[in-house]
Amino acid sequence: MMKKPNFQAWLQQQISDDSEVILAGKLEYLRLYLTDAMREIRNKSGLTQAQLAEKLGVKQAAVSKLESPLKEHELESVLHYLHTLGADLLVAVKQGDDLYQASDNEGLLLVDVPDVVAQKASAANMTVREYVSAAIAKFSSENNAMRTDLVKLLKSDDLVAVKVRERLSTKTITDIATELEKCLLLADEEDRLFAVKNVLASNLAVAETNRGTSNEIDEIELLYLAEELLVKIEIIFK
């Protein structure tokens, strides 16, 4: 089982002075946090993606897409997902020192840094800023090592790597490694499998096809390739 990263470590990271880059970073963080919370809530509810899909009245692929940080998410779909699991989305808007409550739960507010992070910083005799910076440095080091290993695998003559390059021929090796790296951050084995399958399908004109359609055979082939790729990756990260 791959170690689940602490996304909280990214909160105070200064990624750029460019406003567009900062905005893109915020969107990326939001997707990572939101999808991680959604998967955790579903797992705690004891439901598989297929079982939740049945409750929602959608295909499993739709649930897989909702739980993927690589995809865009409609607010209505996220709210429907959470409501079905008995959960609420808490939303607040912060400008300077002013915090505006947007969700209907007045008893709770979003905060910049959870208490648990402040407690860990205090236990380490560090300020929150120092603690987060140290976590970022550690995470970035592990992250870069993972990406380097993925690039090495994807460039190799391994049959699985060749198949991946053929399917994603319009993308660079680095881009593929970056997308796979995000998939590997998922804690649940089934979630990782479907996330990798979605990456492999991203070059197809009908990448969002569901089971039971005329593309069912290709869907199965994608799952097989995703499984093979994950086995190779698990071997190099042991």
The answer, yes or no, to whether residue 121 has pLDDT greater than 70, is yes
Q: State pLDDT tens for residues 16-65.
A: 567 776 677 777 778 888 888 899 999 999 999 999 999 999 999 999 98
- Cα dist from 149 to 78, 144, 155, 175, whole Å: 34, 9, 10, 14
Q: How does the average pLDDT of the chain come out, rounded?
A: 77
- Name the pTM for this structure: 0.42
The answer, yes or no, to whether residue 3 has pLDDT greater than 80, is no
The reported pLDDT for the residue numbered 30 is: 80
The reported pLDDT for the residue numbered 141 is: 57
- For helices 128-155 and 159-167, give the axis angle rounded to 10 degrees: 100
Q: What would the mean pLDDT of 77-98 be, rounded to a whole number?
A: 84
The answer, yes or no, to whether residue 139 has pLDDT greater than 70, is no
The reported pLDDT for the residue numbered 145 is: 76
